Structure 1
Amino acid sequence: MKIVVIGGTGLIGSKLVSKLTAAGHQALAASPNTGVNTLTGDGLREALTDASVLVDVSNSPSFEDAAVLEFFTKSTKNLLTAAAALGVKHYVALSVVGCERMPDSGYLRAKVAQELLIKAGSIPYTIVRATQFFEFVKGIADSATENGTVRLPTALIQPLAADNVAYALAEASLTKPVNGIIEIAGPETFQLDELVRQGLSARKDPRLVLGDPNAQYFGTLLHERSLLPGGTAHIGATRFADWLEKSAV
């Protein structure tokens, strides 16, 4: 079966392509690096010809509000049009747990817009919403650092490893469309500040991490459970401490 992974050369996409290929499927990594541009439409027809499944794990090169909205809306429209014309039977997209609960975030508003386009399209679909990845813990710290101090909300978070995300996407792409949302999360719940504190400590990063309920998370205020999945989420197997032990966070 031919499965086209949009964003297939990135963190999640490359892992997904490897898993699908190892399972014996024809997995095509599609990205600007391989001549496929979802914004312009260049290379889409060639990439999607004879494909049964499209998996979209692409991301905007800019997180500025207007730019990220344009990326997800224009790219998704182009993908839906090309996929429908070429008979793709399943559209799988990676999204974010809780995106509809944080409208102050331009990035998450764009993800909601992407989801709505997919739901309104003609192709059977599965939207996989994931919690934050372990791999982005340092990025969270960097975004919240001022004068050597990291100030973060104390809201709860249930992060997971990128490998577990790729596994869930592979599973979704090889099963029937659910025409709805699947949530995936890690096996443990942390306060956001404590998660980052542990991550920085493991890499011997000396920055002080302070918990502040009024601090912002990428430009938005959080309620205690804003970042948590519902009770029916699929749970990844990898624990944060085990991941830290094996990686250079």
Structure 2
Amino acid sequence: MTSIDTTREAVGRVAVVTGGSRGIGRAVSHRLSADGLAIVVNYVGDTAAAEETVAALTAAGGKAIAVRADVADEKAVAALFDQAEAAFGGVDVVVNAAGRLALAPIADLDLNVLDQLHRTNVRGAFVVAQQAARRLRAGGSFVSFSTSVVGTQFPDYGAYAASKGAIEAMTLILARELRGRDITVNTVAPGPTATELFLEGKTEEQIDTLAKTPPLERLGTPEDIADVVAFLTSAEGHWINGQILRANGGMV
């Protein structure tokens, strides 16, 4: 694993990463920790994965804690930020990587599944954005996650793309609402990325077809996406604000 960076920029910076123990969120936790940030690994159900992530970060010389919270529960998310501030003194970066995926034709989707999806992906994103807007220190960054399917519009992704479209709609609005605070707000929209969530339920043929769709002819990796987040939350990326960045190897 990359050694911990102790540059002046990184010292004392703190990141809250929701969904930070699995998939892209875990890769983000590792990447930001490698850049010297203290990491608050948020999770909702898999305690073992969260503890494993924290153990890996601390073994590499980083600082990290795990905090359980449902992102759609405003009291739990407020408590998450309270614990971040109590442990590390404040919050400089918030990455909302928590999310759900449900695939079905619009005509067939169970509306209870739709409600659960939107509870996490829309309400949860809004709740985390509220706390980020209230708690981030000057010079900070908020990064949300959308999906490139908002642009590609593949069948069966209607509910998921709709939930992520809501996040894209909030991005520039929140950036403008934080005028004068020196805080950036951006959204990363990955293309097909080799995570457990993406691979689950797909055939080898489906995966191979999706891998060949970008001009770069491969699936993205969680680390590819984590590198984008690291840039957006760095001093070098601080002029980028209110943007949707489609990190997808050249898809539409």
How would you bin the TM-score normalised by the shorter chain?
A: 0.5 to 0.7
Structure 1 residues 139-162: Cα deviation after superposition (integer angstroms, max 9, x where no partner): 3524xx9xxx97998896223122
Specify whether residues 91 and 150 from structure 1 end up closer, same or farther in structure 2 by C-alpha distance, changes over 3 A only.
Answer: closer
CA distance in 1, matches of 2:102, 2:210: 27
Specify whether residues 17 and 106 from structure 1 end up closer, same or farther in structure 2 by C-alpha distance, changes over 3 A only.
Answer: same
Does 1:3 find its partner at 2:15?
yes
Which one-letter code corresponds to 1:35 in the other structure? R
**Between structures 1 and 2, the one with greater helix share:** 2
Unmatched tracts of structure 2, length 5 or more: 1-12, 48-66, 104-112, 179-183
**Any conservation in 2 of the 1:91–1:126 contact (CA below 8 Å)?**
yes
Q: Find the counterpart in structure 1 of residue 71 from structure 2.
A: 38
Q: Find the counterpart in structure 2 of residue 94 from structure 1.
A: 145
CA distance in 1, matches of 2:122, 2:225: 23
Which of 12-21 and 128-137 deviates more? 128-137
Specify whether residues 151 and 27 from structure 1 end up closer, same or farther in structure 2 by C-alpha distance, changes over 3 A only.
Answer: closer
Structure 1 residues 150-203: Cα deviation after superposition (integer angstroms, max 9, x where no partner): 7998896223122211222222222314211222124xx8xxxxxxxxxxxxxx
SS at match of 2:95: strand
Specify whether residues 150 and 47 from structure 1 end up closer, same or farther in structure 2 by C-alpha distance, changes over 3 A only.
Answer: same
Matches of residues 213-224 of structure 1 in structure 2 within 5 Å?
A: none
Specify whether residues 179 and 62 from structure 1 end up closer, same or farther in structure 2 by C-alpha distance, changes over 3 A only.
Answer: same
Structure 1 residues 112-154: Cα deviation after superposition (integer angstroms, max 9, x where no partner): 0122123322343111111111345743524xx9xxx979988
SS at match of 1:52: strand
Q: Find the counterpart in structure 2 of residue 58 from structure 1.
A: 98
Q: Find the counterpart in structure 2 of residue 114 from structure 1.
A: 167
**Any conservation in 1 of the 2:146–2:190 contact (CA below 8 Å)?**
yes
Q: For the pair shown, which has the larger CA radius of gyration, 1 or 2?
A: 1
Normalization by structure 2: what TM-score? Answer: 0.62
CA distance in 2, matches of 1:81, 1:167: 25
Instruction: Tell me the C-alpha RMSD between the 2 structures.
Output: 3.0
Does 1:180 find its partner at 2:213?
no
Q: Find the counterpart in structure 2 of residue 235 from structure 1.
A: none
Which one-letter code corresponds to 2:194 in the other structure? F
Shift in Å, 1:102: 2.3
Match for 2:202 among 128, 135, 141? 141
Structure 1 residues 30-62: Cα deviation after superposition (integer angstroms, max 9, x where no partner): 122422221112033314531111111111276
CA distance in 2, matches of 1:173, 1:4: 12
Specify whether residues 109 and 48 from structure 1 end up closer, same or farther in structure 2 by C-alpha distance, changes over 3 A only.
Answer: farther
Shift in Å, 1:17: 1.2
SS at match of 1:184: coil
Count, aligned residues: 184
**Between structures 1 and 2, the one with greater strand share:** 1
Which one-letter code corresponds to 2:100 in the other structure? S
Normalization by structure 1: what TM-score? Answer: 0.63
Give percent identity, aligned residues only: 14
Q: Find the counterpart in structure 2 of residue 161 from structure 1.
A: 221
CA distance in 1, matches of 2:41, 2:170: 23
